[in-house]
Every structure is written in C-alpha cells, then in structure tokens.
Amino acid sequence: MPNYPQFTNQAGDLNDNGRDLANFLTANLLKMQEADADTLNTYPGPLKYLFHNHKVSGMTVEQFIRDNGKSAALNAWRIKEAVEAQEAQKKQVKETVQAANTLAAELESVKAQLAEALSAIKTLQEAKAEAKPTKKAAKVEATEEVEDESEAE
C-alpha cells in the first residue's frame, strides 16, 4: 500500500501537512474568488471542486481536507508539490541566468583588458623596431660618417 501523506492527527486536527495544504488551498481559493470564468477553468480539478463546494455549501478548507483526505485533498497535495517544484525550478533558472550574465560581463572585461594589453605590446614592438637599427643600416651609417669625415678633411 502506498505511503500517502496524512493531513490530520488522531484527534482530527490538521497536522503540519494539513496546515501546509490548507495555506496552499486558501491562497488559491482567494485567487479563484476574484477570477473570471475563463481563468477558473484553468485551475486543476481538485481546486475547482473545493471552489464549488465552498461557494455552494460554504465548505471550509479544513473541512475539505478532512472529508477528502484520500481523494481530492491528496490530489491537491500533489498539485501543490508540482507547483512548488516549478517555482523552485524558476528560481534556479533565474539564478543561472544571473550567473551567466555576471560571467558574460566578466568575460567582456577580460576581453577589454586583453585588447589593451595587445595594443600596448604592439606599440612597444613598433617602438623597439624604430629604435633598433638593423646591422646593415648601422654599417651604412658608419660608412657615411667615415665618408663625411674624409670629405671634411
């Protein structure tokens, strides 16, 4: 036999699971009371069942949980778990996107630093090339100096 969550204790009062489910159902019941008919049709069956019983007979959330602990309330519990899992997944996706954006910004910063470093290296290489004459150029300059001295004498 499957291990179903219990929503009430032996005295018939709501336990932790029951209170948790009651909070979930109450929040949804409030939303459903303000919703239009098209929006109401988007809610899952157990929530519509609660809404109908609440409207028609004034059933409270606690009565719904006690009277339907192995059927509609159990299905509502599963829906609550699925909603919580979706919310956790949305939160994780949001955190992942934020981390990816942070990494992208850091990458752009590193790219800018690399471009600056490459520019500095290129400038230094050009300055070095201009400052250091080749051996052939040095010999030509030396020969010209000797010729200039010879002509001067």
Residue reference for tokens 């800018």: 112
What pLDDT digit, counting tens, does each position of 31-69 carry?
A: 999 999 999 999 999 999 999 999 888 999 999 998 888
What domain range is 112 assigned to?
A: 16-129
- 43 and 91 Cβ atoms separated by less than 8 Å: no
CA-CA-CA-CA dihedral for 109, 113, 114, 115, to nearest 10 = 100
6 inside domain: no
Per DSSP, helices labelled H in the chain are 16-34, 37-40, 45-57, 61-67, 72-131, 135-152
pLDDT digits (tens, 9 = 90+) for 1-31: 467 888 988 898 999 999 999 999 999 999 9
How many domains does the chain contain in total?
1
Domain for residue 152, yes or no? no
